Structure 1
Amino acid sequence: MGSEPVRSVGRRRLLGWGGWGGLAAAGVAAGGAQLVGARSARAAPTASRAVPRDARPGGAYDRYVAKLAAEDKFSGVVLLSHRGRTVLSRSYGMADKEKGIRNHEGVAFNLSSAGKPFGAVAVLQLAQRGRLRLSDTVGTHLKGFPEEIAEKVTIHHLLSGISGLNTPDEDLQRVFRSREEVREFHEKWARQARPVAPPGTPTDHAGAEVAIPALIVEAVTGMTYWDYVEEHVFKRCGMTGTAFFTRPQWLTDPHIAHSYMRQGDGSRVDAVRNLDKGSPDPFQLGKNPARSYIDFPGDGGFATAPDLVRFAQALGDGTVLDRPYAELLTAPKIPLAPQGGGLRADRSTPADAAFATYMMPVSLIDGQWLNGRAGVNPGSLASWNIYPDSGWVGVILGNYDDVPFTEIIEQEMRAVLGPT
């Protein structure tokens, strides 16, 4: 693959390529009709499989990212972990240029949509404790929604991305001053959602599908969404560097990467120190993520690369969810539309299948399952992929917004799935 940057990769554009995170963003997924019989001639992956040469230090993936960083086309952290052991960890660029703080493993990056699976985990925790049912309608737990939402849209619809709801218009210019102000605004915003198709219809990354489950978590627990997830997800997984940090913390904590937005004149500006500046990306024109005092409920907060590996391990060993519910989280729900090209273009095997799950898409690539999620905000990007059949986890976190993101994801997949 080449290394020319994909300019102005917006949040909705990235997630619109299938709408389901790193895998679909890389353009490797295909519709479910091609799943049957596609893998009958391939051997199942084994636990003893050697570390692929491209995933090793000094391998193709390592060299590729180093080249991008040397050309100032990547700033951030990449990590590959195999069965809990770090195989490759590299950090490039600056977390805070003004203070001279470099990026490293302990730095947390803005996740945007890559943090949405945390909300699905929170809902499933409540389901396994019997405090809600996935078949509950919105009106079971929340008042004030129109009848066509309150009585017809279920939690399952919301988590699966098939609610038929729209995304209300956002006020991208508003500068928030407190957690309470963010929460009040976001609750009103969620209640502006309206049906644009019958429940069961796939939607295009509808904001209401993230906002309403967060409100349900609050209604059921009596806690804010932020507090619940930090206590029952992050803390339980041992994610000590991950949180819903506020803007004052973002400004002062040396362990949080500042987001550097590319401007129309080619310069980069520190988003958190320049609230008057916004993104020129037409898909999120004028947006600056630092204007929100804290991430909206349902969005991702900030995480370190090792913490995302810990989250993946906690999903696999029953720490954060009982095993049946962890399996339910990533069980295929809705086939995703064919994407074509990308990683599949030079492979001889048939195209694989991709499915929506509960906020954490899954795909088959060369006979192996891959679960993952990606997100972008002005000045930041995040992707984490779990390869459960072979025990790999890949994390990509960055604080530039003009990098070849899809190509980096593809190169990670090549490294993990390629020949030894």
Structure 2
Amino acid sequence: MDAPTQPFVAVRTTHRIAMPDTSSPTHNRATAPQLDGDARIAGLLMAINSRSRPSLLDFLRVHMTVSSSSPMTTDDYADWLVSFSRLSQGVVLREIKPVDTISFTQTVVVDDRVYSATHEFHLRFEAFAGGKILEIRGRPGELQSIAKSQADCLAQVQDLCDRGARAGVFSGTVLIARGSEVLFEYACGAANKRYDVPNNPDTKFNLGSANKMFTAVAVAQLVERGRLSFTDTVDQYIDDTWLPPSVTRRITVHHLLSHTSGLGSFFNETFFNGSRARFRAIDDFKALVRDDRPAFAPGERFEYSNNGVLLAGVIIERVTGMSYYDYIREAIYAPSHMLDTDCYDIDAPVPNLAMGYIPLVDPTGRRSVPEWRENIFEHVAKGGPAGGGYSTVRDLHRFATSLISGVLVGPEMRQALWTDYAGMGYGYGFNVEKTASGTMIGHGGGFSGISASFRVALDTGYVAIVLSNYDMGTFGLARCIEHVVDQIQE
């Protein structure tokens, strides 16, 4: 439902937006601002460590100027930094890098106080001495690489989970496996705070976008069986009650699954301004999609699209004659023995299902323990092809095992799923990335009150799954766990 990963970047909402180009024309190096050790950097870090929105706003209003064309407002930056300060519990300065005299950007490297993970802030300044900050961007920094034995790494994973739980930023479950062998399980926090019901390894968590993988595998199965092709145009399956033929005849199944269709997201004003209960069956989403038009020529570039994967689900229904939900149960969940996975209606009394929780921001920053509210009015009433279904760490491990062993699709289709088509680390419904140990595939998920991470190292067979019912609950933790697992020495 969200972006495919949860990068540490400033974003205005929980949905992906385009950030402005930070490149600048080449300037005379003699005019480069002298920013090393600048008091503004110290001021920014002090404001972050205050965990106070007023302090952050005061800093930004004095030291930052945001152009009218920026997708971020000063308030957006304050919200983002407050969220980061909550999740990191503050930062410790590691390094201030020299100014890039071409882009007038300075990089500040910090460690967070929860997981000791490294993060980078990139501050772009006006192109003169003493110029104000124009933009702040963030990204994960390099983590220290120390190869260890499997036992040492699992002990480190335990420590990371304990840190997140103690800091109150992680509530959820974790599973580490190698192939079919489960090596580590962890659960903490409450699935339901009203009744103090604890999470356990069989608790069902909302996956956000992570169940885009199921949609992609289902399409690959149909291609494998000769019932459709990745090169088929969408107009062969979708009528003009969804989108006009002038749009659908230019878009292929390949474009939908690789996020190169140019289409956008059904998380729009119509969705947010009305009752979520209106959207349960796949056809209910027509009202949210029918006005969408490609932002670029299909195939031109990568841009994450919930509408694209939703339409892939529509195609599954048209080809099979079954509802999307029934087909996924039959083709994905049943052969993988995933008995606790489905797109449940949020108002149905499903046993052992975790409610999602959003922290209430204390505007003064004085409250040490966050207050929470449930996300029931934020998310979809029922998940679908683009995300929002539920699963457990154990079921997702079963899915990984079925996928790798060939139960779901053969080697050729797996290769199709895990080819990086646009050079953006994304195949068909899966992230694809190169790591120290080889190729890693999977998907993340996030929305208000939920967070998920699923990763499989294809070369070593390690599986790392982190699910949380906290807003951005896997932030930092999943990344650190993946890194630790990737460093296991044979």
Q: Provide TM-score, normalisation by structure 2.
A: 0.66
- Could you say which residue in structure 2 is the equivalent of 1:280? none
The alignment-based identity, stated in percent, is 27
Counterpart contact for 1:26–1:407, Cα < 8 Å: no
Q: Which has the greater radius of gyration?
A: 2
- Could you say which residue in structure 1 is the equivalent of 2:334? 235
Is 1:321 paired with 2:321? no
Once the two structures are superposed, residues 181-229 of structure 1 have per-residue CA deviations (whole angstroms, 9 ceiling, x without a partner) of 5433313323322021111122431222111111111111111212211
- Could you say which residue in structure 1 is the equivalent of 2:375? 271
SS of equivalent residue, structure 2 residue 191: strand
Counterpart contact for 1:380–1:399, Cα < 8 Å: yes
1:204-353 → structure 2 map (5 Å cutoff): 204-249=303-348, 252-265=349-362, 266-272=370-376, 275=377, 288-289=378-379, 292-336=380-424
Is 1:137 paired with 2:233? yes
Is 1:76 paired with 2:180? no
CA distance in 2, matches of 1:128, 1:111: 26
CA distance in 1, matches of 2:236, 2:416: 22
Q: What letter matches 1:78 in structure 2?
A: V
CA distance in 2, matches of 1:13, 1:159: 17
Q: What letter matches 1:400 in structure 2?
A: Y
CA distance in 2, matches of 1:26, 1:118: 28
Is 1:12 paired with 2:15? yes
Superposed structure 1 runs of 4+ greater than 6 Å apart: 5-9
CA distance in 2, matches of 1:15, 1:363: 22
Q: What letter matches 1:231 in structure 2?
A: E
CA distance in 1, matches of 2:388, 2:357: 18
CA distance in 1, matches of 2:149, 2:418: 25
2:449 to 379, 382, 395: 379
Q: What letter matches 1:227 in structure 2?
A: D
Q: Provide TM-score, normalisation by structure 1.
A: 0.77
SS of equivalent residue, structure 2 residue 341: coil
Shift in Å, 1:73: 1.4
Q: 1:269 to 1:183 in 2, by over 3 A?
A: same
- Could you say which residue in structure 2 is the equivalent of 1:111? 207
Counterpart contact for 2:451–2:468, Cα < 8 Å: yes
CA distance in 2, matches of 1:27, 1:327: 28
- Aligned alpha-carbon RMSD (Å): 2.7
2:153 to 52, 55, 58: 55
SS of equivalent residue, structure 2 residue 476: helix
Once the two structures are superposed, residues 235-275 of structure 1 have per-residue CA deviations (whole angstroms, 9 ceiling, x without a partner) of 121111111111232xx333111111112345201223xx3
CA distance in 2, matches of 1:120, 1:114: 11
Once the two structures are superposed, residues 365-388 of structure 1 have per-residue CA deviations (whole angstroms, 9 ceiling, x without a partner) of 125100011011111100000001
CA distance in 1, matches of 2:152, 2:480: 9
Is 1:392 paired with 2:443? no
- Could you say which residue in structure 2 is the equivalent of 1:191? 290
- Could you say which residue in structure 2 is the equivalent of 1:146? 244
SS of equivalent residue, structure 1 residue 195: coil
- Could you say which residue in structure 2 is the equivalent of 1:278? none
Shift in Å, 1:14: 10
SS of equivalent residue, structure 1 residue 188: helix
- Could you say which residue in structure 2 is the equivalent of 1:416? 485
Q: What letter matches 1:122 in structure 2?
A: A
CA distance in 1, matches of 2:159, 2:316: 43
Q: What letter matches 1:371 in structure 2?
A: I
Counterpart contact for 1:225–1:298, Cα < 8 Å: no
CA distance in 1, matches of 2:392, 2:299: 35
Q: What letter matches 2:245 in structure 1?
A: E
Q: 1:154 to 1:377 in 2, by over 3 A?
A: same
CA distance in 1, matches of 2:10, 2:248: 40
Shift in Å, 1:330: 1.1
Unaligned stretches of 5+ residues in structure 2: 1-7, 20-137, 363-369
Once the two structures are superposed, residues 99-139 of structure 1 have per-residue CA deviations (whole angstroms, 9 ceiling, x without a partner) of 22110011010001111111111111111111111110011
Shift in Å, 1:13: 5.1
CA distance in 2, matches of 1:150, 1:330: 25
Once the two structures are superposed, residues 257-306 of structure 1 have per-residue CA deviations (whole angstroms, 9 ceiling, x without a partner) of 1111112345201223xx3xxxxxxxxxxxx11xx331144324000001
CA distance in 1, matches of 2:149, 2:291: 50
Shift in Å, 1:26: 7.7
CA distance in 2, matches of 1:111, 1:75: 14
CA distance in 1, matches of 2:289, 2:450: 25
Shift in Å, 1:402: 4.8
SS of equivalent residue, structure 2 residue 286: helix
CA distance in 2, matches of 1:358, 1:118: 10
- Could you say which residue in structure 1 is the equivalent of 2:255? 157
